[in-house]
Amino acid sequence: MDVTEQFISPEFQDYYSLTCDSLIQNIFTELFWTICPGDTFYYNGNALTVGGLYQDIYPLSSGADSIVTLNLDVLVPIEAYGSEDLCNGDTLMISGNSITQPGFYDIHLDTTNCSTILHLTVYEVTIDTSIVNMGTSLHSPAHEVLFQWFDCNTNLPVPGAVQSDFTPASIGFYRVRLTTIQGCEAFSDCYLVLPTATYAPLNEIQWQIFPNPAHDVLYVSTESQTAQDGQLEVSDMLGHVLLKQTISKGSSNNFIELSSLPVGIFLITIQDDKGTSSTRLFTKI
């Protein structure tokens, strides 16, 4: 490139030319890259694991240089701490991780952002399902839970039975469902309860059987104790009597061994000297 400058002064005037070579500009390129701790970034044949500025110079045919600067940043881990409650048998899903056991876990919350690690403590929610059976009533010693008592024969909730103490209106097997403030649920075992005895003629009392279907034993319970002797009869669907068992006066709960019966559907009735009660169907499995 030729540069010409003109100088003028009051005393004289002169002209001259200043000539220099053409100016060639270098090309500068800046790159930015971020990696997670422990990762490796491969650049220009080099394995980089430490953050910093890395510069390479590439000569060009024009005489200029291409200068490339890499800004490599290694993220500093951000640590967070938290806790979760785990119900028995449940699964916690956190950032794609399935957690089924209590314990301590280190979790990357976002797979696209390696800088956040959650140190998670998982606590198992335990529920006291023990029951105090006082014969005519049941008591649950569990604390900080909601109660709902169930009839084990029907598997239906007993209306209004939502306290820790439960006295049923009729004989039967009962259990309680316990619900914690975290929403965890657990059931107690079934327990036989015999309410305060009242006597009634056999043909006037209400009765039920459970469980149904049954396997080895079928329980027969009545609302009140019997005022006279009676008899249980089990027959097949053709009316053939297969089993007989005496109900003693004053009893309100009886059971029949079913081991001698084949799998199928059967009828059971209660009889006394004044007649026959209604018939119930049950299934042997």
Spatial separation of the C-alpha atoms in residues 65 and 62, rounded to whole Å: 8
Spatial separation of the C-alpha atoms in residues 200 and 218, rounded to whole Å: 23
Instruction: Give the position of tokens 């422990």.
Output: 38
In the chain, % of residues over pLDDT 70: 78
pLDDT in the model for residue 17 = 42
Spatial separation of the C-alpha atoms in residues 156 and 138, rounded to whole Å: 17
pLDDT in the model for residue 129 = 93
pLDDT in the model for residue 245 = 85
pLDDT tens-digit series, residues 193-231: 866 544 444 454 567 788 888 888 888 876 555 555 677
| Prediction pTM value | 0.46
Strands (E), 9-144: 13-19, 27-35, 41-43, 46-48, 52-59, 65-74, 78-86, 92-94, 97-99, 103-110, 113-124, 132-133, 138-139
Where is 201: in which H helix or E strand? none
Q: Are 70 and 55 in contact (CB under 8 A)?
A: yes
Per-residue pLDDT, averaged over 256-273, amounts to 82
Q: Are 148 and 156 in contact (CB under 8 A)?
A: no
Q: What is the mean pLDDT of the chain?
A: 79
Confidence of residue 16 (pLDDT cuts 50, 70, 90): very low
Domains of the chain with CATH codes: 2-74 (no CATH), 78-124 (no CATH), 132-193 (no CATH), 199-284 (2.60.40.3080)
At residue 203, what are phi and psi to the nearest 5 degrees? -80, 0
Q: For residue 67, give every residue at least 6 positions away whose Cβ sits within 8 Å of its Cβ, in sequence order, or none.
A: 26, 27, 28, 29, 55, 56, 57, 58
Confidence of residue 277 (pLDDT cuts 50, 70, 90): low
